[in-house]
Amino acid sequence: MADNTLAAQREHDKRVLITIVTDIGNQLRIIVFEQKELFRTEFRPYFPGPWEDVETRLPQAVTELEKDNFYWEYVEGAGLVRDSLQFERNILTEAIKEGVVARTLKIINSILGSLSGVFPFLEAVKEYKEHVEAANAVQNRWK
């Protein structure tokens, strides 16, 4: 019985992780393609930059999650399970809803920091996000 409960919880957590990774990709795409005015003028010509690389790494994480091709010990160690994971999900969802770019990027950074321990290939996405954040001119709202 306990194994069934653990399996159900892990399946739920996996689904939440997939939605988080998908949301991160969607938000980064919106910022670099639809909100270029948020970037300082001198940085605008450099974006989207290596977007194609980012765009392949996030779906790769989704695929690895869907195929259970990761170690739950790393996910648990990163605090990406149960209540902690739901907390991350809720905070990200609220930041997206509010539309404050700087806040959303900080939350994405935190999540990517944890996820890159599970999927080291996401470190490049975290680096990209940090460049997006550094090139941000103002703390505007966006949709």
Q: 6 — phi, psi (to 5°)?
A: -65, -45
State whether residue 142 is helix, strand or coil: coil
For the entire predicted model, the pTM comes to 0.92
Would the CA dihedral through 93, 95, 101, 105 be positive or negative?
negative
CB atoms < 10 A from the CB of 111, how many?
25
Contact 100, 138 (CB under 8 A): no
Tokens linked to 140 = 């505007």
The Cα-based distances of 127 to 3, 65, 68, 104 in angstroms read 38, 21, 25, 15
pLDDT tens string for the chain (143 positions)?
577 899 999 999 999 999 999 999 999 999 999 998 999 999 999 999 999 999 999 999 999 999 999 999 999 999 999 999 999 999 999 999 999 898 999 999 999 999 999 999 999 999 999 999 999 876 444 44
Q: If you ran DSSP here, which 8-state letter would residue 37 be given?
A: G
Contact 124, 51 (CB under 8 A): no
